[in-house]
Structure 1
């Protein structure tokens, strides 16, 4: 029996290799994702550990009480320096140091002091040296790349008094991953004296200590706790600090890897369907061979093991191919991710034993499991079947139609029930999850019904080809319908991929249009001026200068007040209803006077507020407080927690420093209005001019990037499905060799035979794509309804242009998939084909 299996593998090598491609692509995605996750974990481990390297003890404010210390005081720092066993001490803090770019505008950047103890520097020098003078600076290599800075050049920072300070770049460095780098902000290093100009009152958030020789980390921590006093401070050894840093960020790589593995799972499901279909066809084609084997003494178990042995060999081959292809997938993903934040895009390809085992486990298990049912079917072939031909599955489908309908009905009931339940849940996230699960159950129902749907859908789709191409199209349509189970299995893989792609596309475009409508509603002004640096307000004189521009009709400056877990905007009273249009649910904005506040409906519910209530707004970070009377409850997306008058907000410390934004409305028919406004804003390095159109363009660009990334991930499943179509056609050509020869003998030309196979391929592809598009659009509507609310109503937007592109792509891909099978069929000799038994 072993020799028979080996001979069979040799005889069907080409078919098995072609089938292996589908599963190899799925394995490549899984292994690529695992390698990417290992690379990210290794990078994060190395870089986060960099902030704790050589640190023997760390002291930070515990923040356990409101009266506790807000930072490291000079007195505490002096006690640390005088503690026995301390060999080196440095403080760590960050200061906002806005960096002025080539366009003259400032952008967010953080500055850190250069540690005086060299061992405690959490940076690795890349080029040049660290600053030694107060007019020198070193910049992070990513910052140097994005800002186009070189060693020996100059960089300008914006001081708190809005003056500009020039520094000479003396070096570049690679920093350990921390909150700054994760946020994507620029990063620089200055001498402590130079940095204090930008953060005079900012206390250090951490003191790091190096122990003297012979002093253990725990002994040092105990001595520091005794010297400083444990009340209000947290003491960690260097080892504890390293573990805590790694624990805080370990989930970041894990979450991203989980998302990629979800897409890999879709690709594997599609690949498994292709493999199942392939073995089903192979078993059907070998009915006579398997029956003859039974006639000469092969047992059912031997036939079963023989089919699974072929699957095992194919799975091993696919695993090897997928493992090496996965390295390429990981390298590509790392390049793409690195390009998002202007990084260097360095590639690391760690291959662990877990990854190798996962590749072979996934590749072989998926292949073998997908072949189990066809293998069982092979054992049921009676020896008498050797004397007759294998029938098509149309009759079998009709016999099992009742069971299929009942199974599909069960999935449909579960799906509809989950959708109805999800729609009734108030929590948007839970509603989306439950309703999304319901759509997947409905998708399963459609897949189960696939063989019963093939006939009606095929007849509907075949109308136009039959009218245009005549006999070849009629034959193609008949071929696609003669074996409903095979056609359904072939198209199901494509159906899944297109369903997910169209669902995501519909949801993304609906979200895009909804966001654009919200922007139009919230931004009736022609232009908005905001600060390019988050903690630097716009100067008040800027609003005065803009109001003096002849082309400007109205200027409405706003302020922002940060309270206890809430924030409030100060707006001019005369701008309400014009440049500010919140929807009022109770009370009246006419009563919004000095000492009053209008609160957002969700915040009012959380805080238990209503019209007539008193709200105490206490400014964060030690600012003042005011008791304000609630005069209205408003609703709308993008609103702050509350609105107050400009005069009321000015009594808070931060709002008194300047404006958060300035809304501008031009005069009707004003020519060159933007240019006139830019003459004023260009003079300020903080002022950034924006319009609703520009805001929408930026938002749409971000959504398009996310959508493109998802298209690329799901596209792998679609590619695998198209391989399945090509594989099915190839096996069908081999199966129908004699039939094709007879058609040629009856007058069908080589071109008509090729056309027949191309149309058959297109019919299968369009069948899967069309059903997938219908399901995707419907499921998209379900998800949109689940996340829609009275505050943010989502409208269904069907991107017909993108849908047309998907359909056209499916047709082109189907034509390409049919190219080789059609060429093989056309080249087969008529005499040789008729002679084949």
Structure 2
């Protein structure tokens, strides 16, 4: 039996290699994701560990520090430096500070205190040197590029009350990966004295020290603790600091890896369906061979083991190819990710752990073997007498099992509909989306079960136009696509899954985009909004008068923000409410919004349990508290928890410091309004001009990037499905060699034979893509309904243009998938084909 299996593998090498491509792609996705996750984890560990390198002792404020403690005082720093065994100690501190770019506009940045001790510096020097004097500065390499700063040139920072501090840039450094760099802010480094001069009242949050020769970390920790006391401070060793730092790494890379693995799972499911279909076809084609083996004494178990042995060999081969392919996929993904940063400094890491290798082989072999179990069981049922008759198509078999299929599909359908209805009734948006999404997957399973029963009707509808246009070849292609419903359904199911998910994501993303755009139009009726480039620096009050004096400007409306303990409110001039600021009133009246009153958002009202006539106590950070009467509940105003008049907001010290934004409405018919407004805002380093159109463009760009990323991930599943179509056609061509030769003998030309196979491929591609699009649009509606709330209704938007491109791409890909099988069929001579057994 072993020799028979080996001989069979040699005889069907080409077929098995072609079938292995699908599973190899799935394994490559899984192994590539695992390698990428390990690489990200390793990179983050190395980068985060830079903050703890050469640190033997770390001192921070402890849990018993006095409530008014703002940091570590100079006296404590002096005691640490004088402790026995301390070779050097430096402070670490950070504070937000606006950085002026070359165009004179401010942008938020973080200033840090650079260590004087070279061993305690947590950054790597890139160019130049570190600052040594108070008027020198170094910046992160990315910051230098984005702000267009050059070594030797000036760097201007905005201090308190917008005082300008000018420094000379002496060097650039790489800050690596840490919580600050991940925030996306620009980064600058100053000497300890220059850093302290920016805000003399700000104290450092940490002191790090290095041990002198002959002292262990624990000895220095004990000495420092004795010197400063341990009640108000947390003193830990460098080893403990490193361990604490690296504990945060897993969460940084784990979520991204989980996301990729979810898409890898989809690709594997599709690959498993392709493998299942392949073995089903192979078993059907070998009916006579298996029957003859039974005639000469092979038992059912031997036949079963023989088919699984072929699957095992295929799985092992695909696993090896997929593992190496996954390493290449990981390298490519890292290059793409790193291209968004400093590509010239990027290092591609390819750690191949033992678990990755085991996972690749386990996934490849298990998926292949499990997918081949049902075909292998079917092979054991081949009776010896089957060697004497032809293999029938599966149409009759499908009709016999139609009742079981329908009942199974109804079961999945009931579960899916019930889950969706339950999910739509959940108030929590995220939970509703997850539960409803699970229901859509149950409905997808119902459609998959019904697949063989749907092939006939769908094939007749889709094949009507080709039959009318192309005549006999199209009629033959339609008949071929419909005469073996189980095979066609299994082939198109893989493509249907991929297209369904792509269509679902596309519909939801576009619906969210259009809803967000409508919200922007609703809440931003003003032509322009002037905001501060730095969130904690309000706009100067005189800017309002300057804008109002511009002839092209019809109205201006400054707004403020009042922060409470867990809420924040927007202050708006009374005459701007309803014109430049238009919330939707659900109860109460904005006419009552006067001094000492507030209109709250419906979400805030529900969360806080307040109604019309209730009193809301707002406690500001400065300790100021005011009681405000609720006079209205509003919707559609997404900026805060509610609105109050500008006069009411000015009772709070934070709002009285300046304006959060300024709404600008132009005169009707003004053509050069933006230029007129910019003449006022350009001299102010903080003023940033924005419009609803620009806000929508930025939002749309972000959503398109996310959509493109998901398209790329799901695209692999679609590619695997197209390999399945090509594989099915190839095996069908081999199976129908005599039939094709007979058609040629009856007058069918080579070109017509090729056209027949191309149309057959296109019909299968259209089946999968069309059903997938219908399901994707329907499931998209379910998800948009699930995430809709009383305050935000996500309207269904079907992007017919994008979905049309997707359908056209499926047709083109199906034509490409049919190229090699059609070429092979056309090249086979009539005589040789008629001689096939």
Fold shared by both chains (TM-score > 0.5): yes
What is the CA deviation profile of residues 240-268 of structure 1, one whole-angstrom value per residue up to 9, with x for unaligned ones? 22222222232120010000000000000
Deviation at 1:546, TM superposition (A): 0.7
Matches within 5 A, 1:675-686: 675-686=675-686
Deviation at 1:447, TM superposition (A): 0.3
Which residue number in structure 1 is paired with residue 19 of structure 2?
Answer: 19
What is the CA deviation profile of residues 755-789 of structure 1, one whole-angstrom value per residue up to 9, with x for unaligned ones? 00000000000000000000000000000100101
Maintained 8 Å contact 1:96/1:199: no
1:381 aligns with 2:382: yes
Maintained 8 Å contact 2:509/2:707: yes
* d(CA) in 1 for partners of 2:56, 2:421: 58
Deviation at 1:127, TM superposition (A): 2.3
* d(CA) in 2 for partners of 1:56, 1:561: 44
* d(CA) in 1 for partners of 2:246, 2:569: 36
1:296 aligns with 2:296: yes
1:497 aligns with 2:498: yes
Which residue number in structure 2 is paired with residue 704 of structure 1?
Answer: 704
What is the CA deviation profile of residues 342-367 of structure 1, one whole-angstrom value per residue up to 9, with x for unaligned ones? 66554221111211121111111111
Which residue number in structure 1 is paired with residue 424 of structure 2?
Answer: 423
Which residue number in structure 1 is paired with residue 759 of structure 2?
Answer: 759
* d(CA) in 2 for partners of 1:143, 1:390: 70
Deviation at 1:473, TM superposition (A): 0.6
Which residue number in structure 2 is paired with residue 595 of structure 1?
Answer: 596
Maintained 8 Å contact 1:623/1:653: no
Maintained 8 Å contact 1:159/1:197: no
SS of the residue aligned with 1:161? helix
* d(CA) in 1 for partners of 2:280, 2:146: 55
1:123 aligns with 2:123: yes
Maintained 8 Å contact 2:283/2:379: yes
What is the CA deviation profile of residues 74-113 of structure 1, one whole-angstrom value per residue up to 9, with x for unaligned ones? 4443443444443322221112232223433221111111
Which residue number in structure 1 is paired with residue 436 of structure 2?
Answer: 435
Which residue number in structure 2 is paired with residue 267 of structure 1?
Answer: 267
Does 449-458 or 294-303 show the bigger shift? 294-303
* d(CA) in 1 for partners of 2:27, 2:150: 43
Distance 1:238 1:581, change over 3 A: same
Matches within 5 A, 1:445-464: 445-464=446-465
Which residue number in structure 2 is paired with residue 650 of structure 1?
Answer: 650
Maintained 8 Å contact 2:33/2:257: yes
Maintained 8 Å contact 2:584/2:637: no
Matches within 5 A, 1:328-727: 328-340=328-340, 344=344, 345-620=346-621, 622=622, 624-727=624-727
1:41 aligns with 2:35: no
SS of the residue aligned with 2:160? coil
Maintained 8 Å contact 1:637/1:791: no
Maintained 8 Å contact 1:145/1:342: no
Does 802-811 or 158-167 show the bigger shift? 158-167
Deviation at 1:5, TM superposition (A): 1.6
SS of the residue aligned with 1:560? strand
SS of the residue aligned with 1:70? coil
Which residue number in structure 1 is paired with residue 2 of structure 2?
Answer: 2
Distance 1:797 1:64, change over 3 A: farther
SS of the residue aligned with 2:525? coil
Which residue number in structure 2 is paired with residue 112 of structure 1?
Answer: 112
SS of the residue aligned with 2:562? strand
* d(CA) in 2 for partners of 1:252, 1:805: 36
Distance 1:537 1:107, change over 3 A: same
What is the CA deviation profile of residues 382-402 of structure 1, one whole-angstrom value per residue up to 9, with x for unaligned ones? 111111111111111111111
Maintained 8 Å contact 2:106/2:534: yes
SS of the residue aligned with 1:10? helix
What is the CA deviation profile of residues 270-300 of structure 1, one whole-angstrom value per residue up to 9, with x for unaligned ones? 0010011011101111111111112222222
Deviation at 1:675, TM superposition (A): 0.9
Distance 1:211 1:590, change over 3 A: farther
Does 528-537 or 479-488 show the bigger shift? 528-537
Maintained 8 Å contact 1:472/1:756: yes
What is the CA deviation profile of residues 114-146 of structure 1, one whole-angstrom value per residue up to 9, with x for unaligned ones? 112222211122222111122222222222343
Does 50-59 or 62-71 show the bigger shift? 62-71
What is the CA deviation profile of residues 653-704 of structure 1, one whole-angstrom value per residue up to 9, with x for unaligned ones? 3323221111100111123111101111111222111110110011001000
* d(CA) in 2 for partners of 1:341, 1:174: 11
Distance 1:201 1:652, change over 3 A: farther
Deviation at 1:148, TM superposition (A): 4.0
Matches within 5 A, 1:236-255: 236-255=236-255
Deviation at 1:617, TM superposition (A): 2.2
Deviation at 1:239, TM superposition (A): 2.1
Does 257-266 or 641-650 show the bigger shift? 641-650
* d(CA) in 1 for partners of 2:70, 2:629: 31
Deviation at 1:582, TM superposition (A): 1.6
Does 723-732 or 645-654 show the bigger shift? 645-654
SS of the residue aligned with 2:670? coil
* d(CA) in 1 for partners of 2:341, 2:654: 31
Deviation at 1:163, TM superposition (A): 4.1
1:100 aligns with 2:107: no
Distance 1:476 1:25, change over 3 A: same
Which residue number in structure 2 is paired with residue 210 of structure 1?
Answer: 210
Matches within 5 A, 1:162-177: 162-177=162-177
Does 71-80 or 271-280 show the bigger shift? 71-80
Provide TM-score, normalisation by structure 1. Answer: 0.97
Maintained 8 Å contact 2:423/2:786: yes
Does 91-100 or 27-36 show the bigger shift? 91-100
1:184 aligns with 2:184: yes
Which residue number in structure 2 is paired with residue 67 of structure 1?
Answer: 67
SS of the residue aligned with 2:556? strand
Maintained 8 Å contact 2:522/2:636: no
Deviation at 1:176, TM superposition (A): 4.1
* d(CA) in 1 for partners of 2:348, 2:830: 54
Question: Considering only aligned residues, what root-mean-square deviation do their CA atoms show, in Å?
Answer: 1.9
SS of the residue aligned with 2:134? coil
Distance 1:408 1:738, change over 3 A: same
Maintained 8 Å contact 1:637/1:792: no
What is the CA deviation profile of residues 497-527 of structure 1, one whole-angstrom value per residue up to 9, with x for unaligned ones? 0000000000000000000000011101000
Maintained 8 Å contact 2:601/2:637: no
* d(CA) in 2 for partners of 1:223, 1:15: 74
What is the CA deviation profile of residues 783-806 of structure 1, one whole-angstrom value per residue up to 9, with x for unaligned ones? 010010110001000000011101
Does 499-508 or 94-103 show the bigger shift? 94-103
* d(CA) in 2 for partners of 1:501, 1:815: 21
Does 336-345 or 373-382 show the bigger shift? 336-345
Maintained 8 Å contact 1:435/1:783: yes
SS of the residue aligned with 2:503? helix
Count of residue pairs the alignment pairs up: 836
Which residue number in structure 2 is paired with residue 310 of structure 1?
Answer: 310
Distance 1:573 1:44, change over 3 A: same
Deviation at 1:64, TM superposition (A): 7.0
Deviation at 1:815, TM superposition (A): 0.5
* d(CA) in 1 for partners of 2:528, 2:292: 82
Does 681-690 or 546-555 show the bigger shift? 681-690
Q: Which runs of 5+ in 1 are unaligned?
A: none
Deviation at 1:222, TM superposition (A): 4.2
Does 479-488 or 647-656 show the bigger shift? 647-656
* d(CA) in 1 for partners of 2:584, 2:78: 56
* d(CA) in 2 for partners of 1:604, 1:227: 53
* d(CA) in 2 for partners of 1:690, 1:49: 40
Deviation at 1:836, TM superposition (A): 1.1
Maintained 8 Å contact 2:65/2:233: no
